[in-house]
């Protein structure tokens, strides 16, 4: 597109399933009501033997509501739930994919992929032998199959990608979709993420890292971003998909526009497998890059949906990064939400879920609360919208995602101004 005006990209559809509800609307309403999706784990046999016994599970999901029963048996849960989210997003947008399949793509992220299928296959191998494995074992496991199943189910024939960059993955999926449309490779992109990793290996593994909260006696209050008593994150399941669309394409078909996707920035820490960059320079660079891409300055930011995992190091680090980018004075004037207090940490799906919440903050004029924020932490001294949603006029929102290994990604969302 060199030498031409840069194509503008808007959001015209949203679909999601979280522990707060099996639709985007239910999830949003649960969030602004201050609910928590956490509860005892029901998906792992003998969970009472584990150090961590709770998570934010999807409740009541039936894949056959969205997928043929035979097909559903061929895929992992992480693929099942993102098909549901993608179909909801498609319906919400009103897009006719079949009319121009080669101009519609999909960019669907995951942090872990089909780990339940991996564990089930390994158990089968040990218990019943190699010749008892299903031929769908490998296709169920590999991380690209969430994206592939969305494409096959909805019939998209444009660009197709699957990001696997830990907890930054779905912000990168959204950013890659933005780039695909700007470059003219597609007019519409279904972008988001999916994670269904509440399995024995995942829960035990994250617990072994001391990454998870151990408040087994009080799950709904365990995820507490920015609170002085936070002790780790709570695992969450979710899938969320946004329909990104080139502006003139959306206008030509009379689409309802939620918001505009203004900018995207990425960087890497080159520091540690789990700990964030202690200087904050590289996460800050990703945010500054996203603002520059959007053509706006730090003073234009009205709201931030923070990565805010509820870990002692992570939340303090992100607070410092926000101050670096916005400056001390403006940083204290910009409200910041840590919505993982409600949904748990949805790993590779987190960025897409939080992008959805940032869009709704813009469209509804409501800031979602950071629940369970009861004890101020001196190292976390910004306005985190504690415990109760707040009305506000949001024109520009940031959504941060930072992943294990040093992946940093930020997107900028704005009110559509015509």
**Residue with more model confidence, 275 or 401:** 401
249 is catalytic: no
pLDDT band with cut points at 50, 70 and 90 for residue 283? very high
* Domain spans, the chain: 9-252, 263-414
307 is catalytic: yes
Tens digits of residue pLDDT in 22-77 = 999 999 999 999 999 999 999 999 999 999 999 999 999 999 999 999 999 999 99
Is residue 4's pLDDT more than 80? no
Neighbouring C-beta atoms of residue 378, cutoff 10 Å: 7
272 is catalytic: no
Is residue 358's pLDDT more than 80? yes
Q: Which CATH class is domain 263-414?
A: alpha beta
> Are 206 and 318 spatial neighbours (Cβ–Cβ below 8 Å)?
no
Dist. CA 287–CA 309, nearest whole Å: 18
pLDDT band with cut points at 50, 70 and 90 for residue 276? confident
Catalytic member of 56, 164, 167, 380: 167
Tens digits of residue pLDDT in 144-202 = 999 999 999 999 999 999 999 999 999 999 999 999 999 999 999 999 999 999 999 99
Is residue 12's pLDDT more than 80? yes
Catalytic member of 249, 307, 346, 407: 307
pLDDT band with cut points at 50, 70 and 90 for residue 2? very low
Q: Are strands 259-268 and 407-414 parallel, antiparallel or unpaired?
A: antiparallel
SS3 letters for the chain? Answer: CCCCCCCCEEEEEEEEEECCECCHHHHHHHHHCCCCCCEECCCCCCHHHCCCCEEECCCCCCHHHCCCHHHHCCCCHHHHHHHHHHHHHHHHHCCCHHHCHHHEEEEEECCCCCHHHHHHHHHHHHHHCHHHCCCCHHHHHCCCHHHHHHHHHHCCCCCEECCCCHHHHHHHHHHHHHHHHHCCCCCEEEEEEEECCCCHHHHHHHHHCCCECCCCCCHHHCCCCCECCCCCECEECEEEEEEEEEHHHHHHCCCCCCEEEEEEEEEECCCCCCCCCCCCHHHHHHHHHHHHHHCCCHHHCCEEECCCCCCHHHHHHHHHHHHHHHCHHHHCCCCEECCHHHHCECHHHHHHHHHHHHHHHHHHCEECCECCCCCEECCECCCCCECCCEECCCCEEEEEEEECCCEEEEEEEECCCC
* CATH classification for the domain delimited by 9-252, as one of 1.10.150.120, 3.40.47.10, 3.30.70.20, 1.20.1730.10: 3.40.47.10
Say yes or no: do domains 9-252 and 263-414 share a fold.
yes
pLDDT band with cut points at 50, 70 and 90 for residue 1? very low
The predicted structure's pLDDT at residue 267: 96
Q: pTM for the complete prediction?
A: 0.96
Structure tokens that stand for 357 in this block: 């919440």
Is residue 227's pLDDT more than 60? yes
What mean pLDDT, rounded, does the chain reach? 96
The predicted structure's pLDDT at residue 273: 87
Q: Which of 2-11, 147-156, 344-353 has the lowest mean pLDDT?
A: 2-11
Catalytic member of 345, 346, 380, 407: 345
């Amino acid at each position: 597109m060199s030498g031409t005006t840069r194509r503008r990209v808007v959001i015209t559809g949203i679909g999601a399933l979280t522990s707060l509800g099996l639709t985007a609307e239910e999830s949003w309403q649960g969030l602004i009501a201050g609910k928590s999706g956490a509860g005892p784990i029901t998906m792992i046999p003998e969970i009472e033997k584990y150090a961590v016994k709770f998570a934010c599970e999807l409740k009541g999901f039936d894949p056959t509501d969205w997928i043929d029963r035979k097909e559903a048996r061929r895929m992992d849960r992480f693929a099942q739930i993102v098909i549901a989210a993608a179909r909801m997003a498609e319906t919400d947008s009103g897009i006719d994919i079949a009319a121009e399949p080669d101009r519609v793509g999909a960019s669907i992220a995951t942090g872990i992929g089909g780990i339940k299928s991996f564990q089930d296959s390994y158990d089968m191998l040990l218990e019943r032998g190699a010749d008892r494995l299903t031929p769908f074992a490998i296709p169920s496991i590999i991380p690209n199959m969430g994206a592939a199943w969305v494409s096959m189910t909805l019939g998209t024939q444009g660009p197709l990608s699957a990001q696997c960059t830990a907890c930054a993955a779905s912000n990168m999926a959204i950013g890659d979709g933005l780039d695909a449309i700007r470059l003219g490779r597609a007019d519409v992109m279904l972008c988001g993420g999916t994670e269904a990793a509440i399995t024995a290996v995942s829960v035990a593994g994250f617990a072994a890292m001391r990454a998870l909260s151990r408040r087994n006696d009080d799950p709904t209050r365990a995820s507490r971003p920015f609170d002085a008593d936070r002790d780790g994150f709570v695992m969450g399941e979710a899938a969320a998909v946004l329909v990104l669309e080139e502006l003139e394409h959306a206008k030509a078909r009379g689409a309802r526009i939620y918001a505009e996707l203004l900018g995207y920035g990425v960087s890497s820490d080159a520091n540690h497998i789990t700990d964030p960059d202690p200087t904050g320079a590289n996460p800050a660079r990703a945010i500054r890059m996203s603002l520059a891409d959007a053509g706006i300055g730090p003073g234009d930011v009205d709201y931030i949906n923070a990565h805010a995992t509820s870990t002692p190091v992570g939340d303090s680090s992100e607070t410092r990064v926000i101050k670096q980018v916005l400056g001390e004075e403006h940083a204290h004037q910009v409200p910041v939400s840590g919505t993982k207090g409600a949904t748990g940490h949805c790993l590779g799906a987190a960025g897409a879920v939080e992008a959805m919440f940032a869009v709704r903050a813009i469209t509804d004029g409501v800031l979602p609360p950071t629940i369970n924020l009861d004890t101020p932490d001196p190292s976390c001294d910004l306005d985190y919208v504690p415990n109760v949603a707040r009305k506000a006029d949001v024109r520009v929102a940031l959504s941060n995602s930072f992943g294990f290994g040093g992946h940093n990604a930020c997107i900028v969302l704005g009110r559509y101004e015509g």
